[in-house]
């Protein structure tokens, strides 16, 4: 298979050159499970730099979610409301 054929078969970005949040998440999870950056990049038709940016953002957001204190400011009440709505599945501490 030639490089042109490989690129034609790549699952590139959707409308307007954008990729959905779900597809980005799946791409990042592939990396975190050990797939090669260049392989995932080529299969999706995005640059390795873009894929690395998604991975870094994903890991940073995950790190923030491990904080033991609730977020301060105007978002605190929204988080508590979400906790209550989830019927006790999540703690609001």
**DSSP reduced 3-state for 20:** coil
**DSSP reduced 3-state for 88:** coil
Instruction: Tell me the two tokens of residue 71.
Output: 């977020």
Q: Per residue in 20-58, pLDDT tens?
A: 999 999 999 999 999 999 999 999 999 999 999 999 999
pTM over 0.95: no
Q: For residue 84, report the phi and psi dihedrals to the nearest 5 degrees.
A: -65, -40
User: Residues with Cβ < 8 Å from 55, sequence gap 6 or more?
Assistant: 28, 31, 32
pLDDT band at 6 (very low <50, low <70, confident <90, very high): very low
pLDDT at 80 over 70: no
């Amino acid at each position: 298979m030639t490089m042109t054929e490989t690129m034609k078969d790549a699952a590139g970005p959707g409308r307007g050159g954008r990729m959905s949040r779900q597809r980005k998440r799946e791409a990042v999870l592939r990396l975190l499970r050990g797939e090669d950056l260049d392989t995932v990049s080529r299969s999706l038709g995005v640059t390795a730099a873009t894929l690395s940016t998604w991975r870094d953002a994903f890991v940073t957001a995950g790190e923030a979610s491990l904080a033991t204190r609730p977020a301060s400011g105007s978002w605190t009440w929204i988080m508590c409301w979400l906790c209550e709505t989830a019927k006790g599945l999540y703690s609001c501490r």
